[in-house]
């Protein structure tokens, strides 16, 4: 063991896991550059890592076709009663789940090294941060955790002899017999994969998958599912939100946290380059926000992550130039295509398609091929510090004060470009009823809407009705220092199916209006759904949007909103008697305003 180990709980846990999983060797990680290089050498030697000639210190990995994404139906929230997990989670009784998994874990690391990865979610020592320790038998996990979290022997020093941490046990579930050759991407069959959370014990067990959030247990498992449960108990917030800083021409800073379901432009907004003169946007985080009330009564946020784990397909210089500039070196790519000149490629990237590439399954690919070259969920793992617009205060231990919350979804009609909540409870109602269209094929039909409250449906580690109540409770504590709440829809279309709003860098115009609302510089029109911009208050200098299109972008169709009511009622019905009375009241007030 190459680091001083003082923590009694950790030493006991390592001993238990060693006896259970029976690895050939144990390695305690220290987070150094030398260690990263050592792991990469190991992965190169085994043939799992492919070096990229075009990007310094960058490597491509190809996962098994059965192991390409989070597996929601194999993801469990295991609480003492099913009621506590709520209607949005897969539940299994803890004793039964543990027995099943303990049998799988028996001898599962034979022929492999067991890596002990001490990590901090958030800056090491920050009052908002938490410490985790992941035990894994995958060197791929080690290198990704190096980028995505703060792996360091300083974490062990901070733990001391009796400090607490969140134990995260992971195995790919592929023991090796003596002399047996390893596969290119070892993992277990789908019916043997388990990603299990025990919120009452602050414990994560994962088995059978080596991919993404199933294996990098600091990410969704700890930073959202377990942290959301801990946050409710301790009185803070763990949210699926980007964090950005917007600075106006006078130098005034605003901090914005925004929650969107997938495919709604979250990373693009986090790294946006404003199209309006004199305004500056900086990224603090693209995916997760942890927030605590500070001594001044305001809500302060940190990004608990250390890197970006982004979807590659669709990322380009036209959609997200800052992300592309982040990916020039020191990046791990997974399930992208490999070009003949030693670079990665994916659908939606700038420039011409390659005439030939090796696809994510390792097969020859040409533009005539019937399948895509990169998997639709192909990923990049990149250090956040490399982002050209990373905020200088992104690692500030006390966090940044949040002024604005934004919710949103992908809607081709009904929902306007932007509106503001009347008050905190109304804002919670907007977050609780947030919805996105599931497919382009059935746009507009209410039945094809997916309600995704606060973009947290797959990530809330306890009963979502209690989660809504926690938001209301936080608002009560914040009082008049609570952030203002807005709802956006960048995706409204004309009758002939064209997007009405240009999006991307022009979304800064909408953020500017929000900031001006906070400063009392612009008024708003009261409507049944919320406060809408007055005509002329959104800065359209430099872009040509016909007034008819702007009218449509901000039009409220009362009948279309009335048609949403049954779907909202069905959605709320799921939460039974755990739905806060204040949200029922918000729904009644909404109906009344619609007339």
> What is the C-alpha separation between 194 and 132, in angstroms, rounded?
19
Q: Which whole-number Å values give the CA distances from 584 to 88, 191, 320, 425, in the listed order?
A: 19, 40, 40, 11
Cα-to-chain-centroid distance, residue 144:
15
Tokens read off for 27: 């390695």
> What is the C-alpha separation between 17 and 167, in angstroms, rounded?
11
For residue 323, give every residue at least 6 positions away whose Cβ sits within 8 Å of its Cβ, in sequence order, or none. 267, 268, 271, 308, 310, 315, 387
Catalytic site residue from 29, 108, 264, 515: 264
In this structure, what are the phi and psi dihedrals at residue 58, rounded to the nearest 5 degrees? -125, 150
- 269: three-class secondary structure by DSSP: helix
Handedness of CA 576, 581, 583, 585 (dihedral sign): positive
> What is the C-alpha separation between 324 and 160, in angstroms, rounded?
40
Q: Which whole-number Å values give the CA distances from 181 to 47, 130, 153, 185, 211, in the listed order?
A: 12, 38, 33, 12, 21
78-102 as b/e: b if 16+ CB within 10 A:
bbeeeebbbebbebbebeebbeebe
> What is the C-alpha separation between 139 and 23, in angstroms, rounded?
14
| Alpha-helix residue ranges (DSSP H) falling in 160-308 | 212-215, 227-234, 266-270
In this structure, what are the phi and psi dihedrals at residue 288, rounded to the nearest 5 degrees? -135, 140
Q: Which whole-number Å values give the CA distances from 238 to 158, 160, 219, 359, in the listed order?
A: 22, 26, 12, 37
Residue 493 is given by DSSP the state B
What does the H/E/C string look like for 84-119? Answer: HHCCCCCECCHHHHHHHHHHHHCCCCCCCEEEEEEE
Q: Which whole-number Å values give the CA distances from 547 to 114, 274, 401, 426, in the listed order?
A: 63, 22, 36, 30
In this structure, what are the phi and psi dihedrals at residue 549, rounded to the nearest 5 degrees? -65, -40
Q: DSSP states of 425-465 as a string?
A: HHHHHHHHT-EEES-GGGTT-GGGEEE-GGG-TTT--S-HH
Residue 390 is given by DSSP the state B
Give me the residue label for tokens 């979250």. 266
Q: DSSP states of 497-566 as a string?
A: S-BSS--GGGGHHHHHHHHHHHTT-S-EEE-SSSEEEPTT-S--TT----HHHHHHHT---HHHHHHHHH
The shares of helix, strand and coil residues in the chain, as percent rounded to the nearest 5, are 35, 20, 45
Active site residue 264: yes
Residues known to be catalytic? 264
């Amino acid at each position: 063991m190459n680091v001083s180990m003082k923590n009694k709980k950790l030493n006991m846990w390592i001993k238990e896991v060693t006896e259970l999983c029976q690895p050939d060797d144990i390695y305690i990680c220290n987070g150094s550059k030398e260690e990263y290089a050592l792991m990469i050498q190991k992965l190169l030697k085994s043939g799992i890592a492919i070096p990229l000639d075009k990007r310094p210190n960058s490597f491509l990995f190809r996962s098994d076709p059965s192991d390409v994404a989070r597996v929601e139906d194999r993801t469990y929230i295991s609480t003492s009663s099913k009621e506590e997990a709520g209607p949005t989670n897969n539940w299994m009784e803890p004793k039964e789940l543990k027995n099943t998994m303990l049998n799988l874990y028996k001898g599962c690391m034979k022929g492999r090294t067991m890596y002990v990865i001490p990590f901090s979610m958030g800056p090491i020592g920050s009052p908002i941060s938490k410490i985790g320790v992941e035990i894994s038998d995958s060197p791929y996990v080690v290198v990704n955790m190096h980028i995505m979290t703060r792996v360091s022997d300083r974490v062990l020093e901070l733990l001391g002899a009796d400090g607490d941490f969140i134990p995260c046990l992971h195995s790919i579930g592929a023991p090796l017999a003596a002399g047996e050759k390893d596969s290119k991407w070892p993992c277990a069959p789908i019916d043997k994969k388990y990603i299990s959370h025990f919120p009452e014990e602050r414990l994560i067990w994962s088995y059978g998958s080596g991919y993404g959030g199933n294996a990098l247990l600091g990410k969704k498992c700890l930073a959202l599912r377990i942290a959301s449960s801990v946050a409710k108990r301790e009185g803070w917030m763990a949210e699926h939100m980007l964090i950005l800083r917007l600075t106006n021409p006078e130098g005034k800073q605003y901090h914005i946290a925004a929650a969107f379901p997938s495919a709604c432009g979250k990373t693009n907004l986090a790294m946006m380059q404003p199209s309006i003169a004199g305004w500056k946007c900086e990224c603090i985080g693209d995916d997760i926000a942890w927030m605590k009330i500070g001594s001044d009564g305001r809500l302060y946020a940190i990004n608990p992550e250390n890197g970006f784990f982004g979807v590659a397909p669709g990322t380009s210089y036209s959609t997200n130039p800052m992300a592309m500039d982040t990916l020039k070196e020191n990046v791990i790519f997974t399930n992208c295509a490999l070009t003949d000149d030693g670079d990665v490629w994916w659908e939606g990237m700038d420039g011409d398609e390659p005439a030939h590439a090796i696809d994510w399954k390792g097969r020859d690919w040409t533009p005539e091929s019937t399948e895509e070259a990169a998997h639709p969920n192909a990923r990049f793992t990149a250090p956040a510090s490399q982002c050209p617009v990373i905020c200088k205060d992104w690692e500030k231990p006390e966090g940044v004060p949040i002024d604005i919350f934004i919710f949103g979804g992908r809607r081709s009609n009904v929902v306007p470009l932007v509106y503001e909540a009347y008050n905190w409870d109304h804002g919670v109602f907007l977050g609780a009823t947030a919805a996105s269209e599931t497919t382009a094929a059935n746009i507009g039909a209410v039945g094809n809407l997916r309600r995704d409250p606060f973009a947290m449906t797959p990530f809330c580690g306890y009963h979502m009705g209690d989660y809504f109540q926690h938001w209301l409770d936080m608002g009560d504590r914040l009082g008049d220092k609570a952030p203002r709440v807005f709802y956006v829809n960048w995706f409204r279309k004309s009758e002939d199916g064209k997007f009405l709003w240009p999006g991307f860098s022009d979304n800064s115009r909408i953020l500017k209006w929000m900031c001006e609302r906070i400063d009392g510089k612009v008024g708003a029109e009261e409507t049944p759904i919320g406060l809408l911009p007055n005509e002329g208050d959104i800065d359209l200098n430099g872009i040509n949007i016909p007034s008819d299109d702007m009218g449509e972008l901000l039009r409220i169709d009362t009948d279309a909103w009335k048609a949403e009511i049954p779907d909202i009622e069905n959605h709320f019905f799921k939460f039974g008697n755990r739905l806060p009375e204040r949200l029922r009241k918000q729904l009644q007030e909404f109906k009344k305003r619609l007339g």
